[in-house]
Amino acid sequence: MVTIIEIAKLSNCSVSTVSKALNNYPDVSEKTRKRIMKIAADAGYIPNATAQSLVRKKSNTIGVVYEVERGLKNLFFSEVLDAFRATIEQKGYDILLLSNKSNRGLDYVDHSRFKQVDGVLIVAGGRNLDAINRMKENLLPVLTLDPPLELKNAIYSNSYEGIKKACGYLYQLGHRRIAYIQGDPETLIGAQRHQAYQDFIEEKALKPIIAEGRFNTYYSMEEGYQTMQTIFERHGLPEAVCAASDLMALGAMRYLRSNGFSIPDDISIIGFDNLQFCEIVEPRLTTVKQDYKHIGTIAGETLLNMIENKTLDFEPILVETSIVVRDSCKKRQ
């Protein structure tokens, strides 16, 4: 590995001059700068980021904490992360993957310190507020996506307005008996979505159609199936269904179809998330899109900002959703 010392020798300069030339300092003559640059390039010199980090006290690396249990394999994570990466990469930052379980006995807070990251993005892992506070104690900028509790330093999709939009869309198609398949009303997101449905129903003076008492913690297909069954048995067939997740919408579709109902002819159904499979299932699922790309970009910009300005707090950011119209909803005859 060729070091800055070799370059100094090759160019008959001191290491400090070489360093300044390489880093575009103003106080080195244009001529020697060019000369040194060329020599370095010819010699195949690549700086050593580790050495730079040590002296600059800056690693140009951002830690990304994610839930091992859920893995990388949810679209939420991968789409957000892609946009996040693109944003921070422009400023020369790299991503270090940090699992929420620890490496060598360190939890992710200590691990972040150990690896000297400049900031931390916690994706869907904010379960423990304590960790976030410890990050801040360590003067580490930290940012959370979709935490389970109302939190500072967080970026959310506007779930409340999202469900309102969904119900509004169904209403506009002429539906009045609109059922809701809830998530887990004890979490922040679940509560917001639930509240949105209730408010909507009240505003339009409709009758709520819901499987009271259910807590769909996983937003899964199976839960959607069962919730739809409960609703059907208690209330009969609604005109439309709004589900708090795409997977639950899909589960509901399954139940309805296996009972001989056709979608969207007999009943309209709308999901929430806009996962990839919305395009693949039949009928293609109309849904509320969470703007993952925007969330990732904003997260990147915000975190860079915090790093550069050494701020540790910012107010929550809400990202708007939008309806993606496909084939699972239809105007009421």
- Min dist CB 255 to a copy of itself, Å, is 13
CB atoms within 10 A of CB 154: 23
Q: Does 175 bind DNA (CB under 7 A)?
A: no
Q: Which helix (H) or strand (E) holds 50?
A: helix 49-56
Q: Does 106 bind a copy of itself (CB under 8 A)?
A: yes
Residue from 10, 37, 52, 191 touching DNA (CB under 7 A): that is: 52
Q: Does 54 bind DNA (CB under 7 A)?
A: yes
* β strands within the chain, DSSP E: 61-66, 94-99, 119-123, 142-145, 154-157, 178-181, 209-210, 240-243, 268-273, 286-289, 317-319, 322-324
Dihedral, 164, 167, 170, 172 alpha carbons, nearest 10: -50
Phi, psi values for residue 111, rounded to 5°: -65, -40
CB atoms within 10 A of CB 97: 10
Dihedral, 264, 270, 275, 279 alpha carbons, nearest 10: 20
Which of residues 196 and 263 has its CB atom nearest to a copy of itself in the complex? 263
- Min dist CB 138 to DNA, Å, is 14
Which one-letter DSSP state was computed for residue 106?
B
Burial class (CB in 10 A: 0-12, 13-18, 19+), 6: middle
- Min dist CB 279 to a copy of itself, Å, is 9
* β strands within 148-218, DSSP E: 154-157, 178-181, 209-210
Q: Does 116 bind a copy of itself (CB under 8 A)?
A: yes
> Hey, what amino acid is at 15?
V
Which of residues 11 and 100 has its CB atom nearest to a copy of itself in the complex? 100
Say if residues 192 and 264 touch (Cβ distance below 8 Å).
Answer: no
Q: Does 103 bind DNA (CB under 7 A)?
A: no
Q: Is 322 left (phi over 0), alpha (psi -120 to 50) or beta?
A: beta
Residue from 9, 38, 51, 89 touching DNA (CB under 7 A): that is: 51
Binding segment toward DNA, per CB under 7 A, in 45-53, 70-78, 192-200, 316-324: 45-53
Q: Does 114 bind a copy of itself (CB under 8 A)?
A: yes
Dihedral, 53, 55, 57, 58 alpha carbons, nearest 10: -30
Q: Does 13 bind DNA (CB under 7 A)?
A: yes
Q: Does 68 bind a copy of itself (CB under 8 A)?
A: yes
Identify any residues that bridge with 99 across adjacent strands, giving them in sequence order.
Answer: 66
- Min dist CB 54 to DNA, Å, is 4
Partner interacting with residue 110 (select from a copy of itself, DNA, none; CB below 5-8 Å by kind): a copy of itself
- Min dist CB 218 to a copy of itself, Å, is 15
Which of residues 113 and 177 has its CB atom nearest to a copy of itself in the complex? 113
Q: Does 2 bind a copy of itself (CB under 8 A)?
A: no
Mark 32-51 with x for binding to a copy of itself (rule: CB under 8 A) and - for no binding.
--------------xxxxxx
Interface positions with DNA (CB under 7 A)? 1, 3-5, 12-17, 19-20, 22-23, 27-29, 31-32, 47-48, 51-52, 54-57
Interface positions with a copy of itself (CB under 8 A)? 1, 46-51, 53-54, 59, 61, 68, 71-73, 75, 77-79, 81-82, 85-86, 89, 92-99, 103-104, 106, 110, 113-116, 221, 250, 276-277, 280-282
